[in-house]
Structure formats: C-alpha cells, structure tokens
Structure 1
C-alpha cells in the first residue's frame, strides 16, 4: 500500500535524455567494480532502477557526468543494504568503512583508500570525477554533508545492534532522519551536475538553510512511506510510520495517514520559503549571475523532491511483494545478497 501513496507536487521536473546511454555504462561499471558479485545480486540491483533516479534528479548533466552521478548514486544505496542489524561485528565493520568514505574527500584527490573493499575503491574513483572542476568551498561543503550522512548511518546501525533502533521518540527521529536521508550532499551534487555553485552567503543564509532542511524532511518522510512495507518485512524500525504507530498507539493505517499529513506540511513549509528567495537575493545584493545560480540551486532542490518521488513510485527497491533473490535476501535478515565490505 505505501509505495502507491501519492502526493500533489506543484512542479514537474524533466528526465535526462542521456538515461539509456548512461545506464548501459553504469551497469557495466557496477559489475566491473565488484559492487555486485552474483547474478542474483545484479538482478536485484537492476530492479531498483537507480539510473532512472539519477536521470530524474540530475536531468541537465552531460552524458559523461550522468554516468559519474549514477555511479555515485549506487554507492550510498549499496552501502545502506550492507547493514545487518543482528550482527554487532557487522556494526564495527560498517563504522570502519564509513570512516574511510568520510576521509576520502578530505585527502588529496587520487589517494588510494586505506580500508580496501569494493565500496571504498569505487568511491575513491568516483570522488576524483565528482569533485573535478569544483571549488574548494564546494568540496568542503559536500564533504561535510557527506560526512554527517555517513556518521548518522553508523549511529543507525549501532542503535539497531543494541536493540534501540525502534525506541526513538518522534522529535528525535525526525532530526535523525534528516541526516540519514542524505539529501544535503545530494543537492550539492546538483551544482556539480550543471557546473555552477550557489554563492556561499546564500548557503549560509537562514532561509536557504531552512529550505534545505525542509526538503530533506519532505524527501525522507516520502521515502519512509514508500519503503514502509519493505522495511516492515525486514524488522527495520527506522521509519516514520513505525515511530508513529509505536509512540502514539496508532493503527498502521492511522500512522500512514499521519505520516502523509506531516510530509505535506513539510512540503508546504518549503514552498512558502521558496517564495521568499527573490527577497533574500535583494537582501544580499546579489549580481545577475549570482541570482541565476541561486535559481539553479532552487531547481536542484525541486529536481530532488519531484524526481525522487517519481522514481520511488516504480522502483523495485520499494515493491511491497517480491519473489526471487531480493525477497530471499530480506527474509534472511540481510539487505543485500552480496557482501561488499570484505576484500
């Protein structure tokens, strides 16, 4: 049921014309890099259709850059599916790999990873391409957002390993979800996809800070709704519907309805702030070029809200009923068939 839940979005976003070109090259790269290690794992990965997610969220990227963005997309999703909450030793390995992923953007480009496994090797290659041509200011901002996202993931795994994942209160969960959804660095990548940068004074302005947070909340809650059945099967309590069900003693239907209302409220609040962007530009006395970059930055947020939503409605990653290897993986308590954290 939740994957079919619809939202009324006031903007539509395009899909990259380079989707099929990039998809073919991306899938070959995923296999060659060892990010899928079995035919069953490859079929499971293909069912997610991450190339379409990238094509919807970064619709104006060049053909070659679209391949880079698809390759980067795969890393966070595949890393997430390495989590096995029933194994405390797995939490330690995830933390070790996460520290390496965090460190990569802070080292000189091209530095070989010190913790070696398919995901760290792939990320070192992707970062050298993703950061190409961007300023130190952008690279630092992206690295900070990326780091917060990965730290939140290790905290999530640690909570699950200690049996505490399903015990966060609603307010605490909402703040935590804002970090685990990984939207801030994903919006940053929107600048890389079109070769521009939002001025630093705009990024630091309270209006833009709040807009990015509300976009993260909106997307995170939407994802919770669309992925609920999948996560419920896995016993994953890191989901807004599960938190509402537990904390407010709602039925599952009531919790889903309240999650939908909360998501819509976040979207409405975001849209209200978006309408104030011209006033912010006036306040900061931005040049014509800077205003154009701000508008492109706002479009990057819109692309993520709408593009992620459209992809989640059809992705096999969130399909409520599954057969075959993906279902077997989840029933066994693991998110993925292939171990990508070992050498």
Structure 2
C-alpha cells in the first residue's frame, strides 16, 4: 500500500504562518543539542519535515511557542528511531533513558537529568518551556499520557528483543497501538499552544474520553497505512496491516483494505461523538467561557487528525525507497543514523 493513500476527512485545518521562522530555529537547535550529529543524520531528519507536522497540528501557536513545539516534536520521533531490537543491551538502555524522560515532568523545574544523553538533556530544556504557564492539573495530565506512551515503547522494544513482537492479536495490537502512537499528550499540547485548558469535568466525561481514544486510533491506523512499505522493508511487525495479514491468513492487499476500513470506521464514530459535544456541554451546565475552551479542545483534536494526515502524505519518514547510510541503519534494525542514547 503506497504512502499517498487518501482518506475523506470532512474538515480542513490551517497551517501556522510561523512555519519558516520556526523551522530555521528548530533545525539549528537540533544540531546545537546534538540530537542530529552527522551529515547523513541531518539529511534524514530534514526529509521527515517535522516542522510541517508541528505547523499543521499546532497552527495557532505564537512564533516562539512554535519553536518550542517543534523542538518537543522531534524528541519522540528521534527516540523511536533509536530502537535496535537485535541488541538486548540496547533494550536495557532504552528503558533507562525512557524512565528519565518519564520522571522529568515530575521533578522540580530546572532539575538536572540523572541519566545524561542528548535526548534527556534536550527534554529537560523543552519541558521547562512547554509547561510554562500551565496548571498543575494540565502538567499532571500531560505527564501521565507521556509516561504511558514511553512505557508502551519500552514494551514494544522488549517484545521485539524476545522475539514476541509478532504474537499480538488484533485486539491486543489495537489497544497497544493506542498507547504507542502518543496522541493523548500531543492533543494536550494543543492546549499549551493556545494558552487554554479544557475544563476537568469535560476531560472526565465519557464523550471526550472516547473522542480522544478514537482520534488516537484513527491517527495510529492512518500512520500504519502510510508507513507500511517502509516498515515492511525494515521487517517491523508493529503495523496493523501485518497483524491483520497474520491473523486473517489473507493477502497483503486484503489486509491493507481491511485496515483502511477499520480506520474509516474509527473516524466515523469520532464524528458522531463530536456532534454530541454541545449536548455534553448542556449536561455539564457549562458557561460561555468553558464552552469556548471545549470548542478549542475539539479543534486541537481536529488539528491532529487532519494535520498529521496531510503531513504523512509527503514526509520522507514514510518514504518506501531509500538508499545510503539511513537504509543501512534501518536494515540493521534501527531507523536513525546517529546514536542519541549515549554521551
């Protein structure tokens, strides 16, 4: 299934006017922090065009906040590409670094990382800026979602290291993918991008909880479809199409078609729930200010569904055909040229 598979999304989202300003500063930052070290690594990283993804998913952020969001955006992607399932010692190091990334938001501001490498140092710097001005409630919510995301990635590496990655059934994989895609905290960052917070009673409402889960499923399955050729080339079984083919005993084409249908079903259910948001606000007896914040919260979800989709159609990260040092690294089991987990 090619990268340019199209979905019918019933809404458009804007692109930040600060894209080029922030892109220049962000690319300088990833070099200065050592997140990208080699020429080959920089070429690979720029081909992903993560600044475009951030500009589409956080279109209303200020120019300086857009730089912060782009910097944060890079960390999860670069950390993910450090995985080398063929080395048990690598899995141990990934878990050690992940624990440091998880606890950073729980420590006092300005704390020095206890596990030192480019990613932990960069995250400590980014979190100081990302959390600025947000309530403890928001920071705790973000930290919890961020932690679940990182733990899921450690579990993924552990399963691969033990040769068990191909054992997940469809139901297990779908629940696992919801965590590894990292959308809940990414939507939370949409609040930071505009300086508002969704009321706590809304975050706890079953409609909003289900909408966020469905957004994660929709985006995760879309990403699986768009990245399928790249991941099949790498021998990566953490993909919905691979799981469906194995469980159904069908062809790649049939598995891809079913994955597409599952994705559109998630999107359709999300849209039905979105239409219930005004009634939810009535149930909770929200005032005008709270309703406005709920509306921006829904926008944050929409920006992620559509913005990530538009980025995925063109990013070099999902490109199927690659040659050179990056292709060599991928064949070795790791997607990144540069080692970022050691000093």
Q: Which range, TM-score by smaller chain?
A: over 0.9
Moved over 3 A (4+): none
1:331 CA drift (Å): 2.2
For 1:112, the equivalent position in structure 2 comes to: 112
1:241-280 aligned within 5 A: 241-280=241-280
1:13 CA drift (Å): 0.2
The 2-side partners of 1:25 and 1:216 are apart by: 29
The 2-side partners of 1:322 and 1:25 are apart by: 27
For 1:307, the equivalent position in structure 2 comes to: 307
The 2-side partners of 1:85 and 1:143 are apart by: 26
The 2-side partners of 1:331 and 1:154 are apart by: 20
Say whether 1:61 aligns with 2:43. Answer: no
For 1:182, the equivalent position in structure 2 comes to: 182
Q: Is there any run of 5+ residues in structure 2 with no aligned partner, and where?
A: none
- Secondary structure of the equivalent of 1:115? coil
Say whether 1:234 aligns with 2:234. Answer: yes
State the Cα deviation string for residues 99-132 of structure 1 (Å, max 9, x = none): 0000000001110100000000000000000000
Indicate conservation of the 8 Å contact 1:2/1:256, yes or no: no
Q: Is there any run of 5+ residues in structure 1 with no aligned partner, and where?
A: none
1:61-140 aligned within 5 A: 61-140=61-140
The 1-side partners of 2:34 and 2:271 are apart by: 41
- Secondary structure of the equivalent of 1:2? coil
The 1-side partners of 2:19 and 2:78 are apart by: 20
The 1-side partners of 2:89 and 2:325 are apart by: 25
For 1:337, the equivalent position in structure 2 comes to: 337
1:172-211 aligned within 5 A: 172-211=172-211
What's the C-alpha RMSD, in Å, of the aligned pairs? Answer: 0.6
1:38 CA drift (Å): 0.4
- Secondary structure of the equivalent of 1:333? coil
Give TM-score, length-normalised by structure 1: 0.99
1:2 CA drift (Å): 2.9
The 2-side partners of 1:27 and 1:250 are apart by: 43
Deviates more, 1:320-329 or 1:112-121: 320-329
The 1-side partners of 2:309 and 2:326 are apart by: 22
1:332 CA drift (Å): 2.7
Indicate conservation of the 8 Å contact 2:83/2:333, yes or no: no
